[in-house]
Amino acid sequence: MASVFGHIAASSALGWSFLPQKSTSKALLLAGFCAFIPDADVLAFRFGIPYHSIWGHRGWSHSLSFALGFGLLIAWLFYRQDKQWWKMALWFVAATASHPLLDMLTTGGMGCALWWPWSTERLFFPVRLIRVSPLEVRDFFSKWGMRILLSEVLWIGIPSILLIGLSWVTRRTLVCIRSGIRSPDRLE
């Protein structure tokens, strides 16, 4: 799995890029929760559920159907009074779905049951660039942990920053076009 840091970075980048006005502390916290929650399935180990079970780690909770249901639930619970609650729902669904998609880019584990309940097959992307994260927090304070964090900066952090920057430039350019301003420097 990618670390909690990588998952939260990706979910935050989605909000800041596509819903900057709605990216409040509350929304970012909820999106981060959505991005992290699929890994609550590690609790299955405590109940004797094996990794390879669909109810185990990277099983049903790492599926797009789970992402859809959980993202909609969080949006409904916290934003149903908002006229544009559906925008928050899209963000929270995307944040939850980003979790298995990032995990499918990692170098370890059994893959994700992305298409559950239609398929229990565990999948990875053909290219696996992100070093798999340790499950124990103390393991981050080692050479291995530092290599993992560096891998996530490279493969999650930099793309997240680029996405935010590209969306900012795009929004600014669109404002210029709509306003008839030839240079973004005149937007002050």
Per-residue burial over 143-181, b = 16 or more CB atoms within 10 Å of its CB, e = otherwise: eebeebbebbeebbbeebeebbeebeeeeeeeebeeeee
- What spatial distance separates the first Cα and last Cα of the chain, rounded to whole Å? 43
Please give the structure tokens belonging to residue 43.
């609790």
Amino acid, single-letter form, for residue 81: Q
Q: Is the pLDDT of residue 187 over 70?
A: no
Rounded to the nearest integer, the mean pLDDT of the chain is 91
- For residues 1 and 103, the answer to whether their CB atoms sit within 8 Å is yes
What pTM did the predictor assign?
0.88
Which pLDDT score is estimated for 182?
63
Report d(CA 173, CA 185) in Å as an integer: 10
Mean pLDDT, residues 98-109 taken together: 94
110-152 confidence digits (pLDDT tens): 899 999 999 999 999 999 998 887 666 676 677 877 888 899 9
Query: With 70 as the cut, is the pLDDT of residue 2 above it?
Result: yes
